[in-house]
Amino acid sequence: MNKYRPTPDKTPTANALHPNIYLLSTVIITVIAGFLYGYDTGIISGALLQITQEFDLSHNAQELVTSAILFGAVLGALGGGKLAEIIGRRYTIMSIAVLYIVGVICCSLSETAFWLGMSRLLLGCAVGGSSQIVPVYIAELAPAHKRGRLVTYFNISICTGILAAGLVGAFLQHYWSWRTMISVAAVPAVILTLGMLKLPESPRWLVGQKRINEARKVLGMMRESDSEVVRELWSIEKVRREASKSQRAGWGELRKPYVRPALIAGLGVAAFTQLSGLEMMIYYTPTFLSDAGFSHTAALYSALGVAVIFLVMTIIGKLLVDRVGRRKLTLIMMPWAAVSLIILGGIWLFGGDNPNNSWIIVACLFAFMVFNAGGIQVIGWLIGSELYPVAIREKAASLHAAVLWGSNLILTGTALTLVHWLTIGGAMWFYAVLNIIGFLFVFFMVPETKGKSLESIEDDLRNNNFSPRRREAVK
């Protein structure tokens, strides 16, 4: 135990900033990547009208330009884990920030729709990579009792980026070209690159590289007492020693029986985060409302309302997730999201053309956003940052992000076709069923991780004490 004891010049009291302030500052700089994720994926809705006019895009070509970033995100998510394993979390985020800069510049300089699509695919690699590594980096820096609140800053940053994109698209449409709308994202990307220069590496990655003194120093800057540093460092290295043989197994470790419950729970949450329909609402709300007889202006303002609710509910979810718990918060909110969609679908099926129903449509739409954004959306990235054992954390987090982005791609690529087949009302009922299935999945497969360290979650896996039913029986 003595080898972990902080030396005098590495204790928390030696820092210029209080540990809590330093940790929060680190998180705020890092989650700029989330803002870029939200803005770069969301700005296409406001820029697409101009892009379509300039390049004379067909309906299918518009879908390809829009979804190229999502395909790139899958690739970036799968590749980000390996990079983070080799060069560390900090340098991976810096590399992704540079990729954001290159991507938006290439998009803004594209002379054809083909090159715009390729540039957005490149930009998608940055989006996918950041969604994989940023939650992991924050989770590995945070103490267990603050991990949920701190990781969900990433969600808040994503929502802020989506809202910023919506505001730019709505109010600067006649002042900025689509190239300007896209290229301004280079500014926060530069800030992220420069900000990461001063931030620490993950102590858990440092321990894995046998750089114990550096890990001790990082923990000392972010924990309020020496005893916390000693206890956490000992726990991290203990788990690392147990996983050392597994780490050499590579991707094959994902097939180990003890890992399977975490993969099922984490990847299932990743899928239902998207399949529950929130991204579909963000991308296609103006289209749905226009089809329901809303004016273009009313549809646009309603879409902004959706983005505002997404941000507000994510902030509320951040405040609740470490108090209420990941599992409980989702189980409370998800049934009401399904009810909102059932009512919304019924109105569209049996009275969507009645102008007197307009306020009910908007109310149900906003209600769905409240319950979905404040529930499963809060835990989507959080669960992916805390469930997976250290031996496969980079790889499993990559797979988690890839499943999330792949589900987004499937949802986005099929939403209009589903509406064509089932009508808008039938599509809403279909998404309601997915919300019900998602609720049942969380109920039976996802345990509570509130207040537990990453190492204790891994101990539960190795001791076959991970499933919700087994955990409740133990209690």
Question: Cα torsion at 134, 138, 141, 142 (round to 10°)?
Answer: -170
Residue 382 covered by a domain? yes
Of the given ranges (12-16, 232-236, 290-294, 422-426), which has the lowest mean pLDDT? 12-16
Residue 280 covered by a domain? yes
Residue 128 covered by a domain? no
Cα distance between residue 63 and residue 113, in whole Å: 12
Type and span of the H or E element at 304 = helix 296-324
| pLDDT tier, 104 (very low <50, low <70, confident <90, very high otherwise) | very high
pLDDT tens track for 270-320: 999 989 988 778 767 776 777 667 776 777 778 788 888 989 998 998 889
Q: Residue 187 corresponds to which amino acid?
A: V
Residue 25 covered by a domain? no
Cα distance between residue 276 and residue 318, in whole Å: 20
Q: Where residue 292 sits, what CATH number does that domain have?
A: 1.20.1250.20
Cα distance between residue 59 and residue 432, in whole Å: 27
DSSP line for 161-200: HHHHHHHHHHHSTTTS-HHHHHHTTHHHHHHHHHHHTTSP
Cα distance between residue 335 and residue 343, in whole Å: 13
Q: Which pLDDT belongs to residue 11?
A: 39
Type and span of the H or E element at 461 = helix 454-462
Helix (H, G, I), strand (E, B) or coil at 447: coil
Residue 426 covered by a domain? yes
Domain that holds residue 387: 252-470
Selection from 415, 422, 113, 134 nearest residue 282 by Cα: 415
Selection from 273, 272, 239 nearest residue 388 by Cα: 239
Q: Residue 189 corresponds to which amino acid?
A: A
pLDDT tens track for 253-273: 777 888 889 999 999 999 999
Residue 395 covered by a domain? yes
pLDDT tens track for 118-164: 999 999 999 999 988 999 999 999 998 888 889 889 989 998 998 89
Q: Is residue 19 over pLDDT 70?
A: yes
Q: Provide the number of structural domains found in the chain.
A: 1
Q: Is residue 10 over pLDDT 70?
A: no
Q: Which pLDDT belongs to residue 337?
A: 96
Helix (H, G, I), strand (E, B) or coil at 91: helix
| pLDDT tier, 6 (very low <50, low <70, confident <90, very high otherwise) | very low
456 against 474, higher pLDDT: 456
Question: Cα torsion at 330, 334, 337, 343 (round to 10°)?
Answer: -160
Alpha helices in 88-173 (DSSP H): 89-109, 113-141, 147-171
Selection from 342, 404, 334, 428 nearest residue 372 by Cα: 334
Residue 209 covered by a domain? no
Q: Which residues, at least 6 apart from 181, have a Cβ–Cβ distance to it below 8 Å?
A: 43, 46, 47, 168, 169, 172
Selection from 440, 6, 459, 460 nearest residue 223 by Cα: 6
Given the structure tokens 């560390």, which residue do they identify? 88
